[in-house]
Amino acid sequence: MNTFIEIIYFSAAVLFILGLKKMSSPVTAHGGIVWAGIGMIAASLVAFLEPGVLDHVSNVVLIIVAIALGSAIAYVSARRVAMTDMPQMIAIYNGMGGGAAAAIAAVELVKLARGGVELEPVIQVLAVLGGLIGAVSFSGSAIAFAKLQGLMRKTLRLPFNSLLNLGLFVVTLGAGVMIASGAEVSSGLVLSFFVMALVLGITLTLPIGGADMPVVISLFNAFTGLAVAFEGFVLDNAAMIIAGTVVGSSGTLLTQLMAKAMNRPISNVLFSSFGADTSSGVEEDIAGSMKEIEANDAAIMMAYAEKVVIIPGYGMAVAQAQHKLQELSQLLEERGIEVKFAIHPVAGRMPGHMNVLLAEAGVDYDKIVDLEEINPEFPTVDVALVIGANDVVNPVAKTNPDSPIYGMPVLNADMAKNCIVIKRGRGAGFSGIENHLFYADNTRMLYGDGQKAVASLIAGVKQL
């Protein structure tokens, strides 16, 4: 029986890895999700065959009830969630994984404190590490969810915030060392350890604003994977070890790529105030002024162009304008115009957010290009249409060393022959930094709701 269980776990791990590989391309992503799902179902079912599990019927019943309730809630919520709300769903579900890992550690460590179980020294250390990381991921992801959902509209940065976080981390780590050292511990110490870890996750995430959410979500994803892997060793479960390691390593790599795309170290994301909601307004004298354009004039400009690049941001997601953009691109292509969609790595509120929305709208994959590929082409672009994007097209990142986003790679929309910016109002972006692109001589502002503005462009092109 043990051999059969190990074979199923190994097969599930293979399915996890292959599924993750297939998710790297939009063409095969759906199949990758299905493969990984099959692997998860197989690993969950075979867990019931682990020695001793079926000996406790009442526990088995509770497990089945929990799985049924959790599956029903997840199915209904996932079916109903809007694509614009996908980042917060990812954040909270990822946090649940970290919370589950922390709960496993808590149960084992409480049993240890009460003398109900003995753990090997290495396993005891891994239980503490998994509990710490999982608890931080759980509470931090909950705060990220609240911010993205609009339940928490202001960031909170306490005086000496970094020092407070450092002190809390040292105290929490000290409690963890005491628990992991093998010395006799009490249930109260274990409880205090987890409470402090949960508070640490909250205090780390509270000062971080929406502009940094893609990196934060990716980082907590890596934390959850690492915590699950550690608790896999505690439970001697191969599937948890492999799945957690895969998620942890891929999440770490993605976090590094996201931070690189912003040209900022992870420490700057976690401990700097950039990304927090700040008051909008011009921070320095900006040459020029915002020049408004009517939809019909913008439509004429696009209809008689040879090359158009559309740059979406989170504002497009909020306005649900992706389907209208697809319709506009098709109209332009029917007129013989080359159309591409330029995606910045941190556009949106989670990694790959814009790609998901455009794929949902039916945009061809070969029309979606990344920053490195499209930037050299902007001098030959007749019209760059920016909808809902701000910091990722701000040229100040290339010119002003005093700017918080200086050095961050941006899309060179300012180098296009003409730039049209669809924007709801005249305020600064989510990070509160004024965008110099809006004041450029070659930029025109089309104010209004994103979906309605694109609909007006469509109507204007059809009249020509």
Would the pLDDT of 7 be above 60? Answer: yes
Task: Compute the Cα dihedral for 255, 261, 267, 273 and give only its sign.
Answer: negative
Between CA 205 and CA 148 the distance in angstroms is 12
| Top-tier CATH class for 295-463 | alpha beta
Host H or E run for residue 275: none
What integer pLDDT is reported at residue 27 of this predicted model?
Answer: 75
> Would strands 338-343 and 368-370 be described as parallel, antiparallel, or unpaired?
parallel
Q: Which two tokens stand for residue 263?
A: 């040209």
Q: Are 328 and 298 in contact (CB under 8 A)?
A: no
What whole-number percentage of the chain has pLDDT above 90? Answer: 41
Euclidean distance between CA atoms 19 and 29, whole angstroms: 8
Q: Is 189 exposed, middle or buried (0-12, 13-18, 19+ CB in 10 A)?
A: middle
Give catalytic residues, as residue numbers.
Answer: 391
**In 283-424, beta strands by DSSP E:** 307-312, 338-343, 368-370, 383-387, 418-423
In 215-371, where do the E strands start and end?
A: 307-312, 338-343, 368-370
Instruction: Tell whether the model's pLDDT for residue 275 goes beyond 60.
Output: no
238: Cβ–Cβ under 8 A, 6 or more apart, which residues?
A: 6, 9, 10, 13, 232
Domain ranges for the chain:
81-271, 295-463
Q: What is the pLDDT of residue 282?
A: 41
Long-range interactions of 65-68: CB distance < 8 A, separation 24+: none
Q: Which residue type, as a one-letter code, is found at position 319?
A: A
Question: What is the pLDDT, as a whole number, of residue 426?
Answer: 64
Measured in degrees and rounded to the nearest 5, phi and psi for residue 228 equal -65, -40
Strand ranges, E, within 87-201: none
pLDDT at residue 295, as a whole number: 92
- Rounded to an integer, what distance in angstroms lies between the CA atom of residue 428 and that of residue 233? 48
Q: How far apart are CA 277 and CA 260, in angstroms?
A: 22
Catalogue the E-assigned strands of 67-154.
none
Q: How does pLDDT run across 215-239, given as a tens digit for each residue?
A: 888 899 999 999 999 999 998 888 8
pLDDT, tens digit, for every residue of 360-416?
888 888 899 988 899 999 999 999 999 988 888 988 888 888 777 788 889 999 999
